Amino acid sequence: MAIEFLSIVIFTFALALLGLGAFTWWIERDRRRNVGILMMVSALLIAACYTFLGSRFSIALFGHLIITIDLPQLMATATLYTIGVLMGFGLAGGAFLWVSGRLVKTTGFERKLAIFIIVILTIALLISLIAVQISH
C-alpha cells in the first residue's frame, strides 16, 4: 500500500509540475518563460526516472523490478480520482461563492438556470435510484 501511495504522490507531483510549467511558459514573457520550460522538463524527467524503476530496463540494470506494481493502471486510477476530487472542490467552492455573493453577483436568469439544473439533477438522481431498486 505504501508503494502505491508514493507512486501516486510522485506522479501527481510530476503532473502538477508539468501543468504549472506549461502555464508559466504561456503566461510569462522573455527570460521568465525559461522557468516554465525548466519545470516541464523536470516533470518529464521525474516521471521517466520513476517509470524506469518499474520497467523491464530496471531488470536489466538491477536484476529485479524496483517498483512491482502496475504503474499505468495505478496512474489512470490516480488521475481519475484527482480529477474527481478537484471537480468536487470546484463545485463546492463555486456553490459557496455563488451563495455567499462574495465574488459572483447573480442575475435573475442565472438563478433560474441554477434552479433548472438542480431540478434536472434531482430528477436524474430519482430515476437512477428507481433503476437501482428495479435491478435488485
Distance from chain centroid for Cα 95 = 20
**For residue 98, what pLDDT is reported?**
72
Tell me the three cell numbers of residue 121. Answer: 439533477
Distance from chain centroid for Cα 55 = 24
Distance from chain centroid for Cα 92 = 16
What are the tens digits of pLDDT across the range 3-43?
Answer: 788 888 888 888 889 999 999 999 988 888 899 999 999 99
pTM of the shown model: 0.58
**Do residues 62 and 68 lie in contact, with contact meaning Cβ atoms separated by under 8 Å?**
no
Q: Tell me the CA distances in angstroms from 67 to 6, 24, 71, 109, one per residue in order.
A: 11, 32, 8, 54
**Do residues 52 and 67 lie in contact, with contact meaning Cβ atoms separated by under 8 Å?**
no
Q: What percent of the chain has pLDDT over 90?
A: 16
- Mean pLDDT across the stretch 41-46? 93
Distance CA 29, CA 114 (A): 39
Domain edges within the chain: 2-104, 106-136
- Mean pLDDT across the stretch 119-129? 88
